[in-house]
Each structure stands twice: as structure tokens, then as C-alpha cells.
Amino acid sequence: MSVVAAIDQGTTSTRCLLFDHAGAMVSVAQHEHRQHFPMPGWVEHDAAEIWRNTARVVPEALRSAGLTTSDVAAIGIANQRETTVVWERRTGRPVAPAITWQDTRTSDIVEQMHRHGLDDLFRDVCGLAPGGYFAGPRLRWLLDRVPGLQARAATGEVLFGTMESWLVWNLTGGPHGGVHVSDVTNASRTMLMDIRSLQWDQRLLDALDIPLAMLPEIRPNAQVYGNCSTVAPGVAIGGAFGDQQAALFGQVCFAAGDAKCTYGTGAFLLMNTGSQVSQSTHGLLPTVAYALEGEAPVYATEGSIAMTGSLVQWFRDGLEMIGSAPEIETLALRVTDNGGCYIVPAFSGLYAPRWQSDARGVIVGLTSYVTKGHLARAVLEATGWQTREVVDAINADSGVALHRLKVDGGMTANHLLMQFVADVLDVPVERPLVSESVSLGAAYAAGLAVGYWSDLQGLRGNWHRAAVWEPAMSQAHRRREQENWNRAVERTYQWVRH
């Protein structure tokens, strides 16, 4: 049996999934890594731990399927985007903990960029206004805080990358000839790449004082970057993707107007905009959807929601209301509504489309009537309403109403939540037979690079619908609940005062 392996390096775990020609999952192996919260708003990972886990999951997935490396046509990588790693070229040791995409420590750097009038430059060149969400300011923070790092970066003694760069470098030899590359979708989230030329831009590098010598080479998503020298010796690494673009690709959203939302730690709704870089006036982000070797790039517009699955995790671990994540649906079904209670999870500010970094989470509408069942339902409804805000922004930007939404990710197993999303969007919500769209997108990229799959049309034939939720909420009820949600969100504003 010939398969393609996908390494899915996520926010909470690293997995290896094997896929066959039909796009069906053959096996999976997974290891979680620790989350570090050294200060309020700071979220860090140990990149060395993540690399060790990666080295474990690939052989475990092969053993589970009774396969060996000779059965693997190629490896593709999908990764948590914007998470920033700097490591020594000679030893391969990270110089500091990896700063994750959820981290808020760079607000002062971003504020300084605003004061220096850099917004228009960055928006025009990379498509992104300065924001703490992106990797560039995190890299600047490390260069400022780690003694001697700026000078070492200028000589190329230390290397920068997001997680796919870190894994590719280690897989292809690390200190002994490792390939230092970044795929175009991850590079587009650094605030350092020209979104049209797909190259690092010296004006942006100068604005953040980041040395070019430490940056990886930017590559297309589907291209052989090199061969593994460890973990799966001799197997080609056929491409990489930022996780959300990988999900768009895995959901075969190859036509302009196609949209998907991935529900994991956060939720990320992307709509294919074709050859056009869409400049949003409603709080969305233009980004590269994918770039195939020798072809013009395809773009997308994105709405990023910081807390969806992580809110359920907080409900489980922080409040200890449930023992496992799936229990939240059972608990929420004990009641018929939220009891007048709304939870707005602005734990690290509000992301798209509001972008309020000074907001913090609130629970409003509490009365003696409210039980933990109502709280459970309010947790789930928060994901639905945040999705509605992003869809409203997409509709306003495009002038065309979204007519259906493809969904994937772990939270799509929650039928109550998916029904609520369909209700508040007033469109059908569809889940594919293979819900692991992030990993599948990475596998597709790698398979295309080595000829395992021939073209995009062949990939379309692999997509099959497993479930659909049709809207059932009345317009009056939807309008009333949306008004209450908006009032709750407004109470999160300006909680943090610098």
C-alpha cells in the first residue's frame, strides 16, 4: 500500500496521519505538548519538545498501519501559524521558548508601529496592518530581549521560522545540512512578505529591523523541499501549509467564493478570492490561499476567531464543569436555551472582525435561574455568534451572501453546535466524510508534488459530504439573540488599560 503522510503540528499536539489515493485516513498517531503561561497574556511552547514528538508520531502512525517508510510517497506538513521560533544554526537549539499565535506580549511594539505611521506601508505591501497576531512583531520582541540575538541574526548564526520551517530543517538534517525554507502561506503571516511578489520585502524588514540573513527561503506549497535524513529517511518532503490554508485546500475550495471554517482551538473562516488580493473594510485579513509550483498564487480572505475549542477546554479544566470536552453537548442539552446568559471569550482580546486587543472575557446576564447547563450552552453559542460576525463581514466585503459553509475540525462532532451555527448563519452547514481537512490539505500538497495525485480536479472527486445541518431558527429569534450578543460583546471593550 502506498500512502502520503501528513504531519499536523497544532497548538496543543503533533499528529501524523496517513492517507491513501482516495483521501481516506489509514492511521493516526498523536502526542500532546505542554502549554506554558509564564505571564498573563503570554503563551509559549517548547520547540524542542514539539520536534521530539514529531520524531515519535511518524513511526507510530506507520506501525499502526503495518507500513514502513518505503510505503510513504511523500510527507506534507501543516502547522499552527504565526508561532515564532528562533534557533541556533550550529547546534539546533532554540534560543528561547516559541511564542505562540495566541500570545499578546507584542502590543507595545505594535503600538509603536502605529505611532510611526507604518500602517499604510504594511497594509499596501503585505496586506496586513500591524498587529500582535503576526510573527514579525514576535520576532522583533525576541531580538530585543535575548542578549546578543540581533548581532547573531545579522550574521545568520541564528535562524527564524514558523513551525513548518523548524520541522523541515530538523527532518532534513538540522545542523548537518538542514533545509531552511518557509511555505508561502506561513510567510504571508509574518508581515514581512510582499503578498504579490511572494518574496521578503526589504522595506518591511527595515521597518522592523529584521536581518534577511536569518529568514528562510520562501517556497510554493506543493514542491519537494528535500528528503528526510531522519524519522523517515529518504522520504521526500513534498510541501507545507499553514493549517488554515491547508484546511481550505483539503476541503477542495479551489474556486472563488468557496468557503470553509475550521473549528479547533480557535476558529478560522477562509473564503477563496481567486487571483484577487481582497482589501477588507470590515476587519478581515487578505492572505495567500495556496501557490502551486509554476502557477500564479490564489488568494483568500480570512476571519480569525481566537477562542472556540479552547473555551470548551477552559470550561473543562479551569471551571471543572465537565470531565471531557464531548460532555459539554450532553450538559447543554439539559436546557432549551441559554437562560439569558452570554459568554464572550475575549481572553486575549477580540479577533476578527472587531480587533479589540484591550477587550477581556465577560459572562453577562447571570441570575439565580442560570445553571451549569445554561453556561454550557452559552459556551457553545459563543462560537456560533463569533462565526456569524465573520460571515457578516465577508458578505459586506464581497457584496455576495455566503450560500453554504463547509466545516471541519474537532468541534464539528458536536451536533448541537453545528445546528446552532446553521441557525445563526441561516445557511446550510456541511461536514465532509474526512473531517481532518488540515492534515488532508497537507497530504494533498505533498502528493501533488511527487505525482501521487495528478491535478486539482482529481482531488475534487475525493470530497464527499457526511453530514449537513439546515437552519431552523426563526428570523425574529435570530435577530433578538444577535442584539443580545452584540450588547454582551460591547461590555468587553477597554478592560485593559496600559
Average pLDDT for 243-268 = 91
> Is the distance from CB of 460 to CB of 252 less than 8 angstroms?
yes
Terminal-residue alpha carbon distance, the chain: 59
241 Cβ partners below 8 Å, 6+ apart? 76, 77, 78, 79, 164, 183, 185, 186, 221, 249, 290, 441, 442, 445
Which own/partner pairs from 25-34 qualify as long-range (CB within 8 Å, at least 24 positions apart)?
25/434, 25/436, 25/439, 25/440, 26/1, 26/65, 26/67, 27/61, 27/62, 27/64, 27/65, 28/61, 28/64, 28/436, 29/56, 29/57, 29/58, 29/60, 29/61, 29/64, 30/57, 31/56, 31/57
**Does residue 40 carry a pLDDT above 90?**
no
Arithmetic mean of pLDDT over the chain: 93
- Amino acid at residue number 359: A
Interatomic CA distance for residues 362 and 493, integer angstroms: 10
Helix (H, G, I), strand (E, B) or coil at 60: helix
pLDDT band at 289 (very low <50, low <70, confident <90, very high): very high
pLDDT score at 104: 86
> Is the distance from CB of 9 to CB of 163 less than 8 angstroms?
yes
> Is the distance from CB of 258 to CB of 272 less than 8 angstroms?
yes
Q: Which three cell numbers stand for residue 208?
A: 522592523
Distances (CA, A) of 48 to 45, 52, 59, 97, 98: 9, 6, 18, 9, 9
Whole-number percent of the chain with pLDDT over 90? 82
pLDDT band at 265 (very low <50, low <70, confident <90, very high): confident
- The strand pairing partners of 272, in sequence order, are 300
What are 13-39's pLDDT values in tens digits? 999 999 999 999 999 999 999 999 999
pLDDT score at 244: 92
Place of cell 472575557: 361
pLDDT band at 457 (very low <50, low <70, confident <90, very high): confident
pLDDT score at 151: 96
Q: Which three cell numbers stand for residue 378?
A: 452559552
Helix axes 475-490, 372-398, angle to 10 degrees: 100
Interatomic CA distance for residues 389 and 266, integer angstroms: 14
**Does residue 60 carry a pLDDT above 90?**
yes
Whole-number percent of the chain with pLDDT over 70? 100
pLDDT score at 12: 87
**Does residue 131 carry a pLDDT above 90?**
no
pLDDT score at 498: 63
Q: Which three cell numbers stand for residue 248?
A: 481550505
Pairing of strands 25-32, 13-19: antiparallel
pLDDT band at 401 (very low <50, low <70, confident <90, very high): confident
DSSP 177: T
Interatomic CA distance for residues 449 and 137, integer angstroms: 32
pLDDT band at 204 (very low <50, low <70, confident <90, very high): very high
Helix (H, G, I), strand (E, B) or coil at 297: coil
Q: What are the boundaries of each domain within the chain?
A: 3-244
Average pLDDT for 56-76 = 96
**Does residue 213 carry a pLDDT above 90?**
yes
- Amino acid at residue number 392: D
Instruction: Give domain 3-244's CATH number out of 3.40.50.2000, 3.30.465.10, 3.40.1160.10, 3.30.420.40.
Output: 3.30.420.40
